[in-house]
Structure 1
Amino acid sequence: MAKRQRRKSQGRSLPLGASIAIIAILAVAAVALSYLAFQNLSDPNPEGFATTNTAAPESSIPAPAESEEPDAPPEAPVSEQARETEAANAGEQIELVAQSRLIALDGSLGVRADVGECTNPGSIEFSTDGGQSWTPSVAFDATSATQILRILPANGGTTFVVALNGECEPQIYSTSNNGTTWNGPLSAVGTWYLDPASPSTLGAPGGAKTIGCEALGLSPVTDREVGVLCADGSIITTTDGGTTWSDTAPVDGVMALAYSKQNLLAVANGDGQTCSGMQLLNLGTDGGTEQVSCVEMVNLGSVAAGDIAAAQSGNSLVLWVGENQHISTDGGQTWL
């Protein structure tokens, strides 16, 4: 019995040489695994081990270069009059042009004109109720007058008009019956006028006067006190009939000069804060301005600077803006 047990125990054990061989193999395997692990740790991006966020798959559409930008949708065209209107409603200076409208008052008599051009004659209308209603002067169309440069109404007297004739020369035309019949023409020498063909030279009572800007508007209060609107939006004045002139004085938002025998007035767009619309300004000879009145307007429409004119006589004020007319009989406190 004892011999059988020994044989069974001997069958379970390995020979010494085999055991040594197995130990050697395991040792080599351990060294190999340690080497591979070290290599993986030393590689910043080992294959099969993501150390950063996985990159998104590339698009099949190539990305534009950094300097390229997607095309912006085309802007709708904006008319010049629309730009002027937007600027006017914002209280900004707009591009100035020569006046295509003139209006003047003397008491209840009103005279207004579409200026026209030398090759396209203007037209004149008269009012006997302070501008409430107007009657065209058909007889004026039969004269040799073309472009109208200045109007001087006289209530109960003779109204004078300075206009170019068919040869584009300044002449004086007159009527004593509110445009029913006309006299003239006579030479315009000896009176104030602005000929657009020579905007740096003014006709004046003492002879032609050269000024330091291109004039777009002229407003004689008297023969000696005169204001000139320059193309850059500034105003120059004289108090001695043009012998000397003031320095140019910029006026914010100015659009036209007004007719008045009392004050040197200008029409300017509102500042958008104290006045949303048009304002009448009293211009001082020292370059200062004082608001006489504000005419509130929600929308000026497509009115250009040249389509604006104003006049004063006593407490009566008339503001002509495009196709609309505004009248005040209390010095600008209220408007109709």
Structure 2
Amino acid sequence: MDRRSLLTAGLVAFLVVDLVLVVLALRSVAVPASGTPAPSGGSESRTVEPSQTPSRRPTPSPSTETTEASRPAVAPAVRVIAGVDGAVVWALDVGRCGDPGAVHVSTDGGRRWSTETAPGGLTRLRPADAERAFAVGGDDDCAFRLWDTADSAASWSEPRSAATAWGRDPEDPTLVHVPGGETGTPCRRSAEVLDLAGLGNGVASVACSDGTLRSTDDGGASWRTAGSVDGLAALALTGPGVGALAALDDGCDGVRVLVVADGEIGDGQCVGDERPRAGRVGLSLDAEGAWLVAGDSVLRAGTTDLATADFAVTGQWPRD
């Protein structure tokens, strides 16, 4: 082979090798190392493989997860209202042992009040008229006692045994005093007693902080669940399974008032448009209607049909 032929053969070999290298380079671009075909351009969607590295667990949305903080806040009643009729109403700022609250009396539907220092750490008040009432609570030594007044709380009798009375304990919110001088825990799993209705003859009901209504008919020897209400805050009963409840729930901006009849709890109605602070809800029934305390407002319904009654603000909670 002459020199010219050798040069021609070498050039051809170089071109063949160069072509092979170009083809290999194009294959390395068109096919990823994983062997998965490369996506084409344009708007075509692609499936993203899950990452093999640990990722943070997403925080549940508040709208789909129920937490303790999202539940309506309730607390043992620190404001108690006790009506006699459409004009006469008593009010109690609940006290503690050695730290008496105050007793207030109004004869004009809550527009004006007379205020007197309570004789002890009162937790329950039962008036008969504008002058007479009895109350129970703890004395300075936290002994459970009963007092009565005949001059609109201006003066009180000497404290005496409250062994025949029902009442919330002035120090321990899980306890109630039952007839016979003993104490008991009516609510389950250490729930607090928010409000109490003593109905005599060993019969009583309590509102518990877990939303249950608990009742007894054997003087507190045993308690049963008589119902459950979201945000239950207060109760007012005129007999076993008859009366009304007050609740703070997410479906009402104010206070929900529910009727209790024949042991059944109705749907009730939403009263007001401002949520009161926990513990500042009270309810009282009389022969002519109902009284409701919601925060600083005192409201009156002039009918016993509370399912549709109009509650009107008649006054403000009394100031010391």
**Among the aligned pairs, what percent are the same residue?**
24
Which residue among 147, 170, 175 is the counterpart of 2:149? 175
Partner of 1:191: 165
User: For 1:158 and 1:38, how far apart are their aligned partners in 2?
Assistant: 113
Q: Deviation of residue 134 (structure 1)? A: 1.9
Identify unmatched segments of 5+ residues in structure 2.
33-37, 39-52, 57-66, 313-320
Q: Deviation of residue 235 (structure 1)? A: 1.4
User: For 1:197 and 1:116, how far apart are their aligned partners in 2?
Assistant: 9
Partner of 2:41: none
SS in 2 for 1:306: coil
Which residue among 198, 205, 216 is the counterpart of 1:220? 198
Name the CA shift for 1:23/1:201 in 2 (closer, same or farther; >3 Å). closer
Code of the residue aligned with 1:318 in structure 2: it is W
CA RMSD in angstroms, aligned pairs only? 3.4
Partner of 1:62: none
Code of the residue aligned with 1:120 in structure 2: it is D
Alignment of 1:47-86 (within 5 A): none
Q: Is the 8 A contact 2:96 2:120 kept in 1?
A: yes
Q: Deviations over 1:181-228 (max 9, x none)?
A: 322222212111121445555323344353442433211244443111
Partner of 1:250: 228
Partner of 1:310: 283
Partner of 2:246: 267
User: For 1:115 and 1:320, how far apart are their aligned partners in 2?
Assistant: 14
State which drifts further: 170-179 or 21-30: 21-30
User: For 1:259 and 1:126, how far apart are their aligned partners in 2?
Assistant: 22
Q: Is the 8 A contact 2:233 2:281 kept in 1?
A: yes
Code of the residue aligned with 1:162 in structure 2: it is V
Structure 2 residue 274 is matched with structure 1 residue 295:
no
Name the TM-score, length of structure 1 as normaliser.
0.69
Which residue among 157, 162, 166 is the counterpart of 2:136? 162
Name the CA shift for 1:184/1:289 in 2 (closer, same or farther; >3 Å). same
Q: Deviation of residue 29 (structure 1)? A: 0.9
User: For 1:51 and 1:261, how far apart are their aligned partners in 2?
Assistant: 84
Q: Is the 8 A contact 1:193 1:203 kept in 2?
A: yes
Partner of 1:334: 310
User: For 1:209 and 1:289, how far apart are their aligned partners in 2?
Assistant: 28
User: For 1:325 and 1:196, how far apart are their aligned partners in 2?
Assistant: 24
Partner of 1:121: 100
Code of the residue aligned with 1:282 in structure 2: it is V
Q: Deviations over 1:7-65 (max 9, x none)?
A: xxxxxxxxxx9xx543442232112211221133234678xx89889xxxxxxxxxxxx
Q: Is the 8 A contact 2:165 2:177 kept in 1?
A: yes
Identify unmatched segments of 5+ residues in structure 1.
1-16, 54-65, 70-82, 88-92
SS in 1 for 2:94: strand
SS in 2 for 1:96: coil
Name the CA shift for 1:294/1:96 in 2 (closer, same or farther; >3 Å). closer
User: For 1:51 and 1:238, how far apart are their aligned partners in 2?
Assistant: 80
Q: Deviation of residue 267 (structure 1)? A: 0.8
